[in-house]
Amino acid sequence: MHRRELLRFLAGSPFFMGLPQIPGEKAITSPEEAFSVFDFERVARDVLPPAHWGYLATGVDGDRTLHRNREGFDKFGIRARRLVDVREVDTSVEMFGTRWETPIVLAPVGSQKAFHPEGEVAVARAAKNRGHLQILSTMTTSSVEDVNAAHDKPVWYQLYPTASWDVTEGLLKRAERAGCPAVVLTVDLPVISYRETAQRLARMDSRDCSVCHETGPIYFRLGRKPMFDNVDVTGLTDLDAPSLTWSFIERLKEHTTMKVLIKGIVGREDAALAVEHGADGLIVSNHGGRAEESGVSTIEILPEVIDAVRGRIPVIIDSGFRRGTDIFKALALGATAVAVGRPYIWGLASFGQEGVEMVLTTLRRELELAMRLAGATSVRALDGSFVRPKT
Ligand SMILES: Cc1cc2nc3c(=O)[nH]c(=O)nc-3n(C[C@H](O)[C@H](O)[C@H](O)COP(=O)(O)O)c2cc1C
């Protein structure tokens, strides 16, 4: 009864961000049936326990930024060119000397075994088969070694530094030894944000969560996160790093051979500072509407960041990307690549590796179609003349 009520509530609520369902239309039962990534969102919502769905779907406070991320794409239209031979389109991009078949990157998402028993390893197999870069969270539930063994190109490692440099160094060295070529420092959560929707849905979950979620000291809780195996976390009292400032970037650069990217940049001033402090790249991101409740979408922020960076380092963007046309707009506005978070997790929760593959295939197919219909034959050819800002 509880579950039925919950599902009815979710179907009509803003927690379910997909397209309105056609009355009587059934959820898909295999990845091939999907028309868009939203078909996977529906299945994921149905199969996941309420608390895990809540962890995935939540924004912060009243979820305004979460919604704004989608609405922001309406601020830009596409300006198409005609009479261009579009039989072949080249979606490949290059970052740090590696060429990727597609500009679509898998953003770091923690605890993927909460969505499917094969978690990050299933995602790595899918990313490998479809030629995508994967970024692995510090909060991964599979080891970086296992994930890299499943992918033919080592993942980039996302770093939550914690308040202890010794812990940071332990994580960095482990990622380096595993062959990761880049570290992505996430800077948008100096303290944990207020995830109200997640808490509401967790309260509706009647399962005994203590079976999987330990309580108590940090070192006890981190026991299930393989990145912390063999890292001494006994002195750690907090996972947050509220004292972090720009000098940390220089320190990171001194202590690692990996490229250093900063994730969570949302304005021109910090984009310029990132370059000044030696960052090798940055990710424009509001954590998928899970950091501060700014009420501003990342696609609206992108032009000022591109302006400040002036082509000196690659700029990746994420938060709210669900359609090929969304990706098209970001690339035309100057992004080097686009990362997605929730969509591939919807695929994972729905159908494991096959679901992730189909989500990636769908996004790439939509991007190629958007390029053909707009007369753009390569990502390189995409520039500001392909977008029309709306007032
Ligand atoms: C369930 C979930 C877990 C996440 N975990 C992390 C994480 O561990 N590290 C991180 O840097 N970002 C994390 N993110 C943010 C993503 O990397 C990315 O910025 C965001 O999902 C992009 O927005 P989208 O989900 O709308 O595509 C997480 C996002 C979600 C939805």
Ligand 1 atom 20, closest CA: 288
Cα separation of the two ends of the chain? 47
116 is catalytic: no
Q: Is the CB of 91 under 6 A from ligand 1?
A: no
Is the model's pLDDT at 285 over the cut of 70?
Answer: yes
User: What are the chain's domains?
Assistant: 2-389 (3.20.20.70)
* pLDDT tens digits along 213-263: 877 777 666 767 899 888 888 778 778 899 999 999 999 999 999 999 999
The whole-model pTM stands at 0.96
Classify residue 12 by burial, with Cβ atoms within 10 Å: 0-12, 13-18, 19+. exposed
What separation in Å is there between the alpha carbon of 219 and the centre of ligand 1? 23
Indicate the range of 96-100, 240-244, 276-280 predicted with least confidence: 240-244
Neighbouring C-beta atoms of residue 263, cutoff 10 Å: 23
Ligand 1 atom 12, closest CA: 108
Instruction: Report H helices in the chain.
Output: 2-11, 38-47, 50-57, 64-71, 119-130, 144-150, 165-177, 196-203, 218-221, 247-255, 268-276, 298-309, 324-332, 342-374
Enumerate residues 6+ apart whose C-beta is below 8 A from 243. 163
Token digits of residue 25: 């239309």
* pLDDT tens digits along 102-146: 999 999 999 999 999 999 999 999 999 999 999 999 999 999 999
* pLDDT tens digits along 174-184: 999 999 999 99
Q: Is the CB of 351 under 6 A from ligand 1?
A: no
Ligand 1 atom 28, closest CA: 109
In testing the pocket of ligand 1, which one of 290, 297, 299, 359 has its CB within 8 Å of the most ligand atoms? 290
Q: Smallest Cα–Cα separation from 116: which of 52, 54, 30, 59?
A: 52
Rounded Cα distance, 354 and 372, in Å? 27
